[in-house]
Amino acid sequence: MPTYARPRHIVLSALFTGLVALSNASFAGVLPEAQTQLKITLAQQPTSRPMTVAYLPEHRLYVVGDGGLGPIPGDYENTQARSLTHIYDEEGRYKQSVKTGISHRAVYFNEDTRRIESVTYNVSTQAGFSPNTGVFALQFNDAGELLPTTTDIHGFNPAFGSASTMPSYDPVSKRYLAKQERSNEVWLVELDKREKVGEIKLDLAAAGAKTDDISEHFVAYTGIPGEELALLDVDHRSILVYNIEGKFVGKSALPKNIKLRAQNHYNGLGYTRGMFFVYHESEGEFGTYYGFKISDKAQ
C-alpha cells in the first residue's frame, strides 16, 4: 500500500501539544485552588501574636504557638516569656493552654527526636541578646498534656539572620530554612555552624510577585520533591510553590472567603501534615487557623 507523508503543520502541532502536556504534567502536583482540610478555631485569645502550628503524631495533637510577648522589661527575677502555647486535638478541638516560658517564632515536629521543637524570637540575637532565646523542645507527659517546662537544644545562633525569622526545618538535611525579611532570600542554617551554609533566592518575578507582596518571615519546607518550598502571597491571596533551588513551580489560590490582613505578612503561618496553615483573624472570636492542601502530592 502507498505511504503518505503527514503534513508538516500537523507534525508540529502534535509536537507542541505533547510538549504542553509534558509541561503541565510536571506541574500537576500544585493545585490551582487550595483545598480546605482543617479548621482550628481558637478558643483562647492569642498572646500578642498567633504565630504558627505543628502536629505531634504520638498524641495526635496540634500545637499552636504564640509569640511576641517576651519577659517583662526590668523584671530580673522572672526572665520567662509570657507567650502561651495552645493544644488542640486532631479534629481541632481545644484542650489546654500553657506558658512554656518561650516566645515562639517557629514550632515543628522533629522526626529524629520525636519531639515538638521551637525556635524563639531573636534566635540570631540580631536585636540584642535576651534570655531564653534559641531552640527548645516542648515537654509532654504520658497522657499527652503539655508541661510548662522545656529542654534546651541550642542557644542563639547568628546564622539565622533576621531577628523575626520563622524558620522551617528539613529533617533530611537537618537544616533550617530561614526566610529573611524584605527580601526573596532564604538562608540555610545548621545549628553547629555560626554562619549560613547556603542561600536560596526565590524567583518572585516568575510568580508575578514582589517582596512587599509576600510573607516577610516564613517559607514552608514541604518535603515534596520538586515542590519543596511554599510561601504566602498576601496581596494576591495565593500560596506560591517553588523547588529547592528557588525556581517557581506554581501557585494555589486561597478561597474567596479568606480575608487576609496586614499581620498575615508577619505571622500566623505554618506547614504540617501536608497542609499550609493560614491564620484568618476575622473568623471566630479569636480567629481561626485554616489548613490548606496545595498539592496533590502532599501526604
Who has greater pLDDT, 144 or 18?
144
User: DSSP secondary structure string, 105-172?
Assistant: EEEEEETTTTEEEEEETTTT-TT---SS-SEEEEEE-TTSPEEEEEEEEE---GGG-STT-B-EEETT
74 or 199, which is more confident = 199
- Quote the pLDDT of residue 10: 41
Flag whether pLDDT at 271 surpasses 60: yes
How are beta strands 49-56 and 238-242 bridged, if at all?
Answer: unpaired
pLDDT bracket for residue 129 (50, 70, 90): low
Q: Which domains are delineated in the chain?
A: 31-73+80-295 (2.120.10)
Q: Reduce the DSSP state of residue 20 to 3 states and report it.
A: helix
pLDDT band at 70 (very low <50, low <70, confident <90, very high): low
pLDDT band at 14 (very low <50, low <70, confident <90, very high): very low
Q: How many CB atoms lie within 10 A of CB 205?
A: 10
- Residue 114 has which C-alpha cell? 520525636
Q: Which residue has the higher pLDDT, 190 or 28?
A: 190
Question: Could you tell me which of 220, 227, 252 has the C-alpha nearest to residue 34?
Answer: 252
Strands (E), 42-125: 49-56, 61-67, 84-89, 94-99, 104-110, 115-120
Q: For residue 78, is pLDDT > 90?
A: no
Residue-level pLDDT at 39: 98
As given in the structure block, the three cell numbers for residue 139 are 515537654
pLDDT digits (tens, 9 = 90+) for 232-265: 999 999 999 999 999 999 999 999 999 999 989 9
Query: What's the gap between Cα 235 and its chain centre?
Result: 18
User: 11: which residues sit within 8 A by CB, 6+ positions away?
Assistant: none
89 CB-near residues (< 8 Å, 6+ apart): 60, 61, 62, 95
Give the per-residue pLDDT at 235. Answer: 96
3-state SS string for 188-214: EECCCCCCCCEEEECCCHHHCCCCCCE
Residue 125: pLDDT band with limits 50, 70, 90: confident
Return the pLDDT at 48: 78
In tens, the pLDDT along 198-222 reads 999 999 999 999 999 999 999 999 9
What Rg do the C-alpha atoms of the chain give, in angstroms?
21
pLDDT score recorded for residue 251:
98
282 vs 290: CA distance, rounded Å: 12
CB 43 within 8 A of CB 65: no
DSSP 18: H
**Bridge-based pairing state of the strands 135-140 and 115-120:** antiparallel
Tell me the C-alpha distance between 125 and 137, whole Å.
Answer: 19
When pLDDT is cut at 50, 70 and 90, the band that residue 18 belongs to is very low
- The reported pLDDT for the residue numbered 13 is 43
94 pairs with which residues across the strands?
88
- At 242, list the grid cell: 517553588
Instruction: Identify the band that residue 11 occupies on the pLDDT scale cut at 50, 70 and 90.
Output: very low
What pLDDT band is residue 47 in, cutting at 50, 70 and 90? confident
Q: Tell me the pLDDT band of 64, cut-offs 50, 70 and 90.
A: very high
Predicted local confidence at residue 23, as pLDDT:
42
- Cell numbers found for residue 197: 551554609
CA triple 101-151-118, angle to 5 deg: 65
Name the band, by pLDDT with cuts 50, 70 and 90, for residue 3: very low
Closest CA to 156 of 126, 198, 117, 197: 126
- Is the pLDDT at 76 greater than 60, yes or no? no
Range in 1-10, 17-26, 88-97 the model is least confident about:
17-26
| Alpha carbon 226 to its chain's center | 17
